[in-house]
Amino acid sequence: MLLNGEPVRSCLMLGVQAERCQVTTVEGLSAPHGRPTPLQCELVAQGAVQCGFCTPGVVVTAAALLSDGLRRSRQELRELLSGNICRCTGYDPIVEAVFRCQH
């Protein structure tokens, strides 16, 4: 989830720690009318969505990374996304999807 626009690991937070903070979950990132965002579409196109366990964390973390407009290398993205554990994809499709979404 995003806490005041910054990615945090929701599994390591108590609800009370989010008091008076802006909390954004993957559902809050949807495009108008609940349509998938370009990032979500690219994750699907790259085969980066398999079991779905890691997907919400990957999406909100990647959205936060993309929001600053900086262009990062694949290696930098791999390191910045490393807090999200994915057992299915091997990370390459996730990194490629985020890399392709950079402007």
Distance between CA atoms of residues 18 and 34, nearest Å: 25
- Identify the pLDDT of residue 35: 87
Residue 9 belongs to domain spanning:
2-101
Instruction: Give the three-state DSSP class for 72.
Output: coil
SS3 content of the chain, % helix, strand, coil (to 5): 50, 5, 45
Instruction: Kindly tell me if the per-residue pLDDT of 69 is higher than 90.
Output: yes
pTM for the predicted model, two decimal places: 0.89
- Looking at the structure of the chain, the number of domains it has is 1
- Identify the pLDDT of residue 81: 94
Tokens read off for 57: 């964390």
Instruction: Kindly tell me if the per-residue pLDDT of 19 is higher than 80.
Output: yes
CATH number at residue 61: 1.10.150.120
- The model's pLDDT over 24-57, given as tens digits with 9 standing for 90+, comes to 999 999 878 888 999 999 999 999 998 888 999 9
